[in-house]
Structure 1
Amino acid sequence: MRLNGKTCLVTGAAGGIGMAMVEAFLREGAVVVASDLDTALLSERCAGLPGGERVLVRRLDVTDPKGIAALDASLADAGVQVNVLVNNAAAITIGKLLDASLEDLRLVLGVNVEGLFNVTKAFLPGMIGRGGGTVLNMASLASVRAMRERFVYSASKAAIAMMTRSIAVDYVADGIRANCICPARVHTPFIENYLARYYPGEEKERFEALSRYQPVGRMIRPDEVAAMAVYLCSDESAMVTGGSFVIDGGVMAGDQPLPEG
């Protein structure tokens, strides 16, 4: 198993990508601290997972430094030593600059940027003190390529990509590796909710259009993102740090949609 001996803390674990990571990490032998604001939903989704005896479900608000410190202390008291940190929790708003409010900006930057800062700042010292570890951050294709009507979200994800490189450069001598994953559109519950909210009655057509954005003709599955996460969190990627790993179905190679029919 590729993650034997690893203890992985995953934020935003109740969501589509987060839960796919929890499942993949368990299959590879890791102990997983699955954290989310919605512990009821998280507990429900973790119940009955193969390897579920290695899951610790914890509530975590990434915007609350005191709560993060309390989680760190409680895990230390229980002898749980995190050596893989996955910053997956995220917020998103849709719209151009003129559509965005200051509240939108503060919400998205608060979760995506400050949240990553808060959680990493809390857990990194322990990882360094134990000889090193891995930080994996969820960025987005929007961090490397401008996307329409994603002004605030794109700004936050671009910040994450550079924060990742900075962590990699600053702490490589301490045994810390840091990378980020940059997916295009992933088929998660967010997509369904987004279509229902913004395009009621047009969900099918809009879903097909979003799928065609990737030249392969479909959206990415959460388990495909999780497979990349397993590699980046395992010792197989020991020489990989400071990277932004695109998974996009060919968008960056040339994003011409598939023809109709």
Structure 2
Amino acid sequence: MFSLQNKKAVITGGGSGIGESIALLLAAHGADVHIVDLNEHQANAVVAEIRQNNGQATTHVCDVSSHQSVLNVFEKIGPIDILINNAGIAHIGKADTTPEADFDKVMNVIVKGAYNCLFAAIPKLRASGGGVILNMSSVAALVGISDRFVYSTAKGAIRSMTMSVAKDYIGENIRCNSISPARVHTPFVDGFLQKNYPDNIDEMFEKLSKAQPIGRMATPGEIATLALYLCSDEAAFITGADYPVDGGFTTLIS
């Protein structure tokens, strides 16, 4: 089950965090993984680990917010079977405390970046006879989260984009779904705590963990496991769906 042999997968932001875990897991199940990331060093480290385990992987350094750069990368990659739009950046702020430059940056990376990859990838998926698109949304697209105005806006767009793409390409054997994680323990979280709460890291980590009713953050591997399923032929009947992986966050907090 869940074999991705002879499948070519493109993962944006695959050099760290959730994207890294997805890249490693898909490669372990036979996929030829292409990591599209702005950080060449991190992407190369993931590629090296995959190759050490006899997997196939390639790094492509690219700013996903650049339309032409994305087109160039996908032209180099050729026909694909799987696209995972995972690249993103976080932001803290309300509507009246988010500078225009920050708003534009987050929207360009998350929303325009996903659009750029869809624009480039869909003809490649079509050339392969169909395939799978998986977008990384967030619980911020589903419920109100304090001080996450532009991030919530961007992830809401990703969720809507998922449904639109699923409907438009269902007749071409292209499935499109999304995952909406709650807080996931990634290096970003550790860096955020170190930067903003250097004197009480443990206390703040516990507070962030307890924000999920299940009592902890998710691990990147738990998100990757669902991604593997949705990208596999075992999920062939699933399209246009969003999956909260949130430890009860969206349903058990009132």
Coarse TM-score class (shorter-chain normalised):
over 0.9
Instruction: Name 1:243's counterpart in structure 2.
Output: 241
What is the CA-CA distance between 1:180 and the residue it aligns to? Answer: 0.4
Unaligned runs of 5+ in 2: none
State the match for 1:232 in structure 2.
230
Whether 1:132 and 2:130 are equivalent positions in the alignment is yes
- The answer (yes or no) to whether the contact 2:80–2:128 under 8 Å persists in 1 is no
**CA distance, structure 2, for counterparts of residue 51 and residue 98 of structure 1:** 49
Which residue of 2 is the match for residue 96 of structure 1? 94
Change (3 A) 1:101 1:218: same
Equivalent position SS for 2:96: helix
> Is 2:42 aligned against 1:41?
yes
Whole-Å separation in 1 of the counterparts to 2:116 and 2:251: 35
Paired-residue identity, %? 37
Is the aligned partner of 1:57 residue 2:55?
A: no
Length-normalised TM-score, structure 2: 0.96
Cα separation, 1, equivalents of 2:53 and 2:64 = 26
CA contact (8 A) 1:11 1:60 kept: no
Other-structure match for 1:259: none
Aligned residue for 1:119, secondary structure, equals: helix
Which of residues 44, 58, 75 is equivalent to 1:73?
A: 75
Please list every run of at least 4 consecutive aligned residues from structure 1 whose deviation after the TM superposition is greater than 2 angstroms. Answer: 48-53
Residue pairs, 1:76-155, within 5 angstroms: 76=78, 81-155=79-153
- Cα distance in 1, alignment partners of residues 62 and 234 from structure 2: 29
Cα displacement string for residues 13-34 of structure 1 (whole angstroms, at most 9, x for unaligned residues):
1121011001110111111001
CA deviation string 1:70-103 (max 9, x = no partner): 1122223xxxx21100000001111111220111
1:8–1:146 Cα change, 3 Å = same
Task: Give, as a single letter, the amino acid of the residue that structure 1 aligns with 2:195.
Answer: R
Given that residues 213 and 255 in structure 1 are in contact (C-alpha distance below 8 angstroms), is that contact kept between their aligned partners in structure 2? Answer: no
Q: Secondary structure at the match of 1:134?
A: strand
Instruction: Give the Cα–Cα distance (whole angstroms) in 2 for the partners of residues 190 and 48 of structure 1.
Output: 20
How far apart are 1:189 and its partner, in Å?
Answer: 0.8
SS in 2 for 1:168: helix
| CA drift at 1:251 | 1.3
Name 2:220's counterpart in structure 1.
Answer: 222
The one-letter code sitting in structure 1 at the alignment partner of 2:37 is D
Shift, 1:53, TM fit: 4.1
| Whole-Å separation in 1 of the counterparts to 2:15 and 2:138 | 19
What amino acid is aligned across from residue 40 of structure 1 in structure 2? H
List aligned pairs for 1:13-28, cutoff 5 A. 13-28=14-29
8 Å CA contact 1:212–1:218 kept in 2: the answer is: yes
Secondary structure (helix, strand or coil) at the match of 2:184 reads coil
Task: Tell me if structure 1 keeps the 8 A contact 2:21–2:221.
Answer: yes
Say which SS state the counterpart of residue 47 (structure 1) adopts. Answer: helix
Unaligned 5+ segments in structure 1 are 257-261
CA contact (8 A) 2:9 2:84 kept: yes
What displacement does 1:131 show? 1.4
Aligned to 1:158: 156
Question: Any conservation in 1 of the 2:47–2:58 contact (CA below 8 Å)?
Answer: no
Count of residue pairs brought into register by the alignment: 252
Letter in 2 for 1:36: D
Instruction: Tell me the CA shift for residue 67 of structure 1.
Output: 1.3
TM-score by length of structure 1 reads 0.93
C-alpha displacement of 1:253: 2.7
